[in-house]
Amino acid sequence: MKDCLFCKIVNKEISANIIYEDKNSIAFLDAFPASIGQSLVIPKKHSFYIFDSNDEEYSNLFLIAKKIAKAIDKSLKPLRTAIVVEGFMVQHVHIRLHPCYDKHLNFKQLEPKPSNEELEKIAKKIKSAL
């Protein structure tokens, strides 16, 4: 989709801290995280509603999310990593992985926002655990 932010990331029109990429999906750090290491896993093919995905696309996306969550757990040591599936703020299916360092899930954006250098370091740390 022409104006979709995530499609622009997929097409490399906008830069992102990419953690993982294959022919069907891409995972990258959320630019506006609520926790350190918050990541997004998206299908490369634009889709508005996850339940419109065929079984293979659906399963693959969740398997990639599990792989990224395990790498977050190993590299950043949260208590656990939570998962949220949405597509409202950006009209493109995305699985949001929230590392939880506290017993409660926080959706409030980190202040101050991590710098690009900090995000790059976090992305490298997660990628090294894959």
Task: Give catalytic residue positions.
Answer: 94
Core vs surface per residue 8-26: b (16+ CB within 10 A) or e: ebbeeeeebbebbeeeebb
User: What gap in Å lies between CA 68 and CA 86, rounded to an integer?
Assistant: 17
CA distances, 14 to each of 29, 31, 58, 59 (Å): 13, 12, 25, 27
How far from chain centre, in Å, is Cα 62?
12
Burial of 35 (0-12, 13-18, 19+ CB in 10 A): buried
Report the amino acid identity of residue 88: F
